[in-house]
Structures are given as C-alpha cells and as structure tokens.
Amino acid sequence: MASDSRVFLFFVQFVTLAILFRSAHSSCYLPNGTSPDDKWTAPCSSDPSNPLHSTCCHTQWANPPGSDIKYGPTQDECMSNGLCQNRGSSSIPGAEQAPWTHFYRVQCTDKDFKGCLDVCSTGLNAHDGVQLTPCDGTSTSEKWCCGDTTSCCSPENAYKAVYIPRNFSSSAAHGLPPTPTPNTTSSVTPSVTPNPQGKKLTNGAKAGIVLGTIIGAILFLALGFFLGFLGRRLLKKTAKTTKPPAEIGSESIHDIHAYRFEAESKRPSFSHELGDRRSRAEMGGKAQLAELAELSSEERKR
C-alpha cells in the first residue's frame, strides 16, 4: 500500500516537472506568433526586473560558445542590446570554417514582441530567427543590416538599416533611428532674402502653360474664322436687300431741262431794270441842264 502511494507520488511529480519543463521551453515565440517548441531556446533571464527577461536565445545547446561545431551547435550568448551572439568554428572536412561571431534576432516570450527587440521581423523574416550584421563590425554598433550583408550601411541604402542602442530598452525596441536632441541654445536667425531664380517651374507647370497656350491659340483662330464667316453673311444679306439706283433715261433728262427753263424764266430781269434806271438818270440830267440854261439866259437879259 505504501509502495503504491510512493509510485503515485513519483508519477505526479514527474508529470508536474515535465509540464513545467515543457511550458518553460515552449514560452518563446517567433514574430508571427507561433512557437517552434524547441528544447534549445530559452529566456535570457528569469528575473522580471531584467530588461532581457523576455528575450529568448539558443542557450540550451550542450556545446559551449566558441567551440568547434563538429561537436554540435554552439550555445548563444545574450547581449545587452537584445540580440543573441553566436561564436564558433568548424573543422569538419569539406566544411572548414575559421572562428566566427554572428548576431541574431531569435524569439520572445511575448507573442506580440512588445518586450523584445522587434527588428527584421516582417515578411519571411517573421517565420524564423534572422541574422543581423553590424555596420562598424563590432557588437556595440548602433547601425545594423538585416541579413549577412552590409549593403544598408551605404548612404543611398541607409533607409534599410535598423538602429539598436547598446543597452536594450522598450522605448527602442523597434530599431528606429534615434531622435535628435533639439538644440536649446538661443540664436538669432538671419533674415534670408528669397532668391527668385531658385523657384523653378515643375514639369507639370510647364506642360500646363504649353497646353494652355495651344488651346488659347486654337480658340483665338476659331473666333476669327467665325467672325469672318458672320461678316460675309451680313454683307451678302445687305447686298440682296439694297435696290440699285434708277437709270437716267431721255425722258428724265427732258424733265430736268424743262424744270431748269421754268425756274430761269421766273427770275427777275436785272438788265431791264438797269436800262430803265439809266434812262431815268439821263432824263433827269437833261432837265437840270435845261433849267441851268434858262437861268443863265435870264441873267444875261438883266
């Protein structure tokens, strides 16, 4: 009876330990929210106050860091920036390799990666751990490229780089560039005179001007043709409604001469009046001479 109780108690303890072990090793997740359920991945710390307590690395391999992988994969080392460092070498025939130091983003105890370094975790990278390469070649670099490449280190590809501070914090968990600290030193900003030559028209503006000019010219020509067509129609209409002047025939000329003769016949005769005045003047002169002659004869008689 006692032996049965001891067997049952041992079974309960074994099951409990197995559940705890399984839960401890299945609490690490990939960025896509799935758990690989592998036995060599574990959290970097069991202390909740440690910033790396949610970061998971391959720390459960039996081969120590920096060893030859002919004895199996080497253990990861948890770094203060939230990445996992793996060191090793290979003497396997046909696969010899000099000592290396590689860096990885592995897994996290949070499915949403809120408590871990969430970098290189989109697209296909969300389904596995990803290697990262430092731009300065050291583990303390703050600028990194996703993958075994340094292409993002060049200025033209800098937008592909991720920025990781030396010490992990939740505020820098997404690998964004550091926010520049504003300069609080007061200074007088000199006034800048705008340079009119610096303002250049864009290609769209130039195209709009050309198109507007062409349309304006077409409308102007169309208006000219319309006004010319309208003017010709008005001239034709006016020519049809206007009567030509009457022809002057022989009868009309005869009437004009008759009217002129009648008008001239009614004019007073100035020559006749002048003749009468001249006759009266001559008669008056002769009478005066006669009177003078009589007066002179009377004087003589006396």
Name the amino acid, one letter, at 101: T
Handedness of CA 177, 178, 179, 181 (dihedral sign): negative
Beta bridge partners, 108, equal 29, 55
pLDDT interval class at 277 (50, 70, 90):
very low
- Please determine, for residue 23, whether its predicted confidence score (pLDDT) is greater than 80: no
Position 296 scores a pLDDT of 61
Q: Comparing 232 with 22, which gets the higher pLDDT?
A: 232
- Please determine, for residue 263, whether its predicted confidence score (pLDDT) is greater than 60: no
- Please determine, for residue 35, whether its predicted confidence score (pLDDT) is greater than 50: yes
Please state which of the ranges 5-9, 102-106, 148-152, 242-246 shows the lowest mean pLDDT.
5-9
DSSP 3-state percent helix, strand, coil across the chain (nearest 5): 45, 15, 40
Position 78 scores a pLDDT of 98
pLDDT interval class at 168 (50, 70, 90):
very high
- Please determine, for residue 247, whether its predicted confidence score (pLDDT) is greater than 90: no
Long-range contact pairs involving 127-136 (C-beta distance under 8 Å, separation at least 24): 127/30, 127/31, 127/32, 127/34, 128/30, 129/30, 129/84, 129/104, 129/105, 130/104, 130/105, 131/102, 131/103, 131/104, 132/83, 132/103, 132/104, 132/105, 132/162, 133/103, 134/103, 135/161
Beta bridge partners, 103, equal 85, 132
Query: Taking residues 211-229, what's their average pLDDT?
Result: 79
Position 202 scores a pLDDT of 42
Position 285 scores a pLDDT of 55
174: tokens are: 């997404």
pLDDT interval class at 225 (50, 70, 90):
confident
User: Mean pLDDT score of the chain, rounded to an integer?
Assistant: 74
Q: How far is CA 193 from the centre of its chain?
A: 25
- Global pTM reads 0.52
Query: Taking residues 259-270, what's their average pLDDT?
Result: 48
Position 220 scores a pLDDT of 77
Q: With contact defined as beta carbons under 8 Å apart, do 109 and 27 qualify?
A: yes
Beta pairing, strands 42-43 & 55-57:
antiparallel
Measure the CA angle with vertex 164, ends 160 and 168; round to 5°: 150
Q: With contact defined as beta carbons under 8 Å apart, do 118 and 130 qualify?
A: no
pLDDT interval class at 299 (50, 70, 90):
low
Highest-confidence range of 9-23, 57-71, 183-197, by mean pLDDT?
57-71
Measure the CA angle with vertex 84, ends 80 and 87; round to 5°: 115
71: tokens are: 């004895």
Query: Taking residues 52-80, what's their average pLDDT?
Result: 97
- Please determine, for residue 278, whether its predicted confidence score (pLDDT) is greater than 70: no
CB crowding 237-254: b at 16 or more within 10 Å, else e: eeeeeeeeeeeeeeeeee
Give residue-wise pLDDT tens across range 111-142: 999 999 999 999 999 999 999 999 999 999 99
- Please determine, for residue 162, whether its predicted confidence score (pLDDT) is greater than 80: yes
Query: Taking residues 180-184, what's their average pLDDT?
Result: 45
Residue 73 is classified by DSSP as: P
